[in-house]
Amino acid sequence: MLALRRNVYSQVSILSRGARFFTTSLVSSNASKTSKDNAATNISNSAPEFIAPEFIAPEFIKKFSAGETYDPSDLKLTTFDRPAEYRVDKFIKTGKDPIHLWKDRVALSQFIHPDGRIQPKDLNSVRQKTQRRIAKAVKRSRAAGLLPYFHRAPELLPIEKKRSSIY
């Protein structure tokens, strides 16, 4: 009577060529078979199946300095929080005020959907204060009759090709 044990290899961290690789491997076998035939088939099927190592980007690996204390949860990749990527406001970077753009219909059309709605700040990549100023400039331009209410500026609309009179 052969009794098979289940072997589980733990997570392995390999340092190779300056990058860390993470791999796990499991041996899949059934526990305690009584028949010799079943045991023989399970031995051939119980070869370890290795999963290909996956690359871990360096920004996900926390660096510890000498003498620093750490919690075991700091070593887990599941609890890692990626640092937030900050958006740069175009108007703050250039130093321009969007309210002064109310006369420039082509510039304001960048912040308007094709159906005429003002785009949200997430699509414009601007802060909330700048978004309010853009909305104010668009409303001023519409009130002055420079910008249409239901589509972008005509300069930015696709040009339709004229049909030839072959018919």
More confident: 18 or 144: 144
Whether the full predicted model's pTM is greater than 0.75, yes or no, is no
75 confidence band (pLDDT: 50, 70, 90): confident
Q: What is the mean pLDDT of residues 125-146?
A: 94
3-state secondary structure of 90: helix
Residue ranges matching CATH 4.10.640.10 in the chain: 90-156
Is residue 84 over pLDDT 90? no
Residue type, 132: R
Give yes or no for a contact between 126 and 134, defined as CB atoms under 8 angstroms apart.
Answer: yes
Q: What is the mean pLDDT of residues 25-30?
A: 44
Is residue 6 over pLDDT 50? no
User: At the fourth CATH level, which superfamily is domain 90-156?
Assistant: Ribosomal protein S18 (4.10.640.10)
More confident: 92 or 13: 92
Average per-residue pLDDT for the chain: 71
Is residue 89 over pLDDT 90? no
Only one residue has tokens 């400039």, namely: 137
Instruction: Supply the pLDDT for residue 102.
Output: 93
Is residue 80 over pLDDT 70? no
Q: What is the mean pLDDT of residues 47-69?
A: 73
Only one residue has tokens 């409303």, namely: 139
Instruction: Supply the pLDDT for residue 37.
Output: 52
Cβ atoms within 10 Å, residue 147: 24
- Burial of residue 91 (CB within 10 Å: 0-12, 13-18, 19+) is middle
More confident: 90 or 51: 90
More confident: 38 or 23: 38
